[in-house]
Amino acid sequence: MQFTQVVLYTAEDGRARFREEAIPLTEGKPQARLSPLMPSGGCQLRMSPVGFRSEFHCTDHPQWVFILGGQMEIGLQDGTSRVFGPGQHFYSADTVPAGAAFDPGIHGHWSRQLGDEPLTTVFVRG
């Protein structure tokens, strides 16, 4: 058994991309499989009002993003985007490349709230 993790990351060209990675569920019992324990650096709750949209930005600290309510769209420089709804998640590791200065024409992603319900999320630092 495995858990599929969606990862938002910075590719070698400095641009944000999505990929999927498998996390093996090697712990627990047959009725409740678990991943190995992962370290975390705390969590934050966030509520974004209807109409929220960010500019292009990078993640300061790699973190899991869990959608509790509403919908969140993440857009990339190449024009693609993905929408995440309640119960969905992704791992945000789209950071500014080492030695680079942030360039909003190359780096990062944007996010926005979709629909008529505020966006409620939990961020868990990796």
For 67-87, what is each residue's pLDDT tens digit? Answer: 999 999 999 999 999 999 999
Residue 37 belongs to domain with CATH number: 2.60.120.10
Task: Tell me the DSSP string of 44-105.
Answer: EEEEE-TT-B--SB--SS-EEEEEEESEEEEEETTS-EEEE-TT-EEEEE--PPTTPPP-TT
Q: What is the pLDDT of residue 60?
A: 93
Domain of 100? Answer: 2-125
Which pLDDT tens digit goes with each residue over 87-102?
999 999 999 999 999 9
DSSP 31: T
Token pair in block for residue 56: 């292009």
Number of domains in the chain: 1
pLDDT above 70 covers a percentage of the chain that reads 100
